[in-house]
Each structure stands twice: as C-alpha cells, then as structure tokens.
Structure 1
C-alpha cells in the first residue's frame, strides 16, 4: 500500500505555496521504536541552553 504526501505552507492571508510536489511514499512495515521525540533543531530552540 502506498500513500501520497505533499508539503505546502500557508501564509497568514491564506495563500498557499507548494514546498514539495505530491509524491508516492511507501510506509514502513514497522515503525522504528524511540522512547522519546528527538530534540528540536529549530533556530529558536537551538538558542536555549538546557
């Protein structure tokens, strides 16, 4: 079974812009186990000292 994914952004006025066009992806048979989410790497969180 395949799925499709399309990445887009919407600005505050409601205008959409496609970041990545629609493509078919094959889901994993079994997802990888992770006891927690990985650390965020965005610029805001990267500046925080834990």
Structure 2
C-alpha cells in the first residue's frame, strides 16, 4: 500500500506555497520502537554542547 504526501507552507495572509510536489511514499511495515528522542541538531543546541 502506498500513500501520497505534499509539503506546503501557508503564510499569515493565507497564501500557499508548495515546498515539495505530491509524491508517493511507502509507509514502514513496523516502526522502530524507542523511548529515546534524537539529539537536537539546531544551531542553538549544537553551539551549547561542551567541547571535549
């Protein structure tokens, strides 16, 4: 079974801009089970990691 996904942005005036055209995706048969979230990779968090 496949699904479709389309990514778009909506600005404050209600204008729509397509970021990624509609495409078919295949869902996972079984997702990985974990209670651990991945490390944040944003510039703010990356800068605050102490260097060794």
Structure 1 runs (4+) deviating above 3 angstroms are 39-43, 47-50
| Partner of residue 6, structure 1 | 6
CA RMSD in angstroms comes to: 1.9
The two structures have a TM-score, normalised by structure 1, of 0.74
Q: Which runs of 5+ in 1 are unaligned?
A: none
Aligned to 2:45: 46
Q: CA deviation at 1:49?
A: 4.4
SS, match of residue 46 in structure 1: helix
- TM-superposed CA distance for 1:12, in Å, is 0.4
Within a 5 Å distance, the mapping from 1:26-41 to structure 2 comes to: 26-41=26-41
Aligned length: 49
Larger radius of gyration: 2
